[in-house]
Amino acid sequence: MDITKDIQPMTTFRNHSAEIMQHLKNTKRPVILTVNGKAAAVVQDAEAYQHLLDLAAEASAAEGIRQGLEDLRNGRTRPVRAVFDEIRADFDISR
């Protein structure tokens, strides 16, 4: 992050939005917008934001796998046939 370019007052963004949008596109770094000297919003290039979402989804999937493996190690699993039989019984579904 370059604090001289990546932190801008909201009024600067309002008055120079085209230049700031070009900066976002070129650097792929977010710009923090301030109001009265305090961070108020973050503006980010759409492609960079999508990349951030993709990373979050990967991390979520990895955490789900980690939890599943932990459940397996600690015996917190059931045979799939038992689960399906329970679902069939709960919803009155015949085989």
Contacts of 95 (CB under 8 A, 6+ apart): 88
pTM for the model stands at 0.62
Question: Is the separation of the CB atoms in 10 and 34 below 8 Å?
Answer: yes
List of domains in the chain? 3-44 (3.40.1620), 48-89 (no CATH)
pLDDT digits (tens, 9 = 90+) for 47-71: 989 999 999 999 999 999 999 999 9
pLDDT digits (tens, 9 = 90+) for 10-31: 999 999 999 999 999 999 899 9
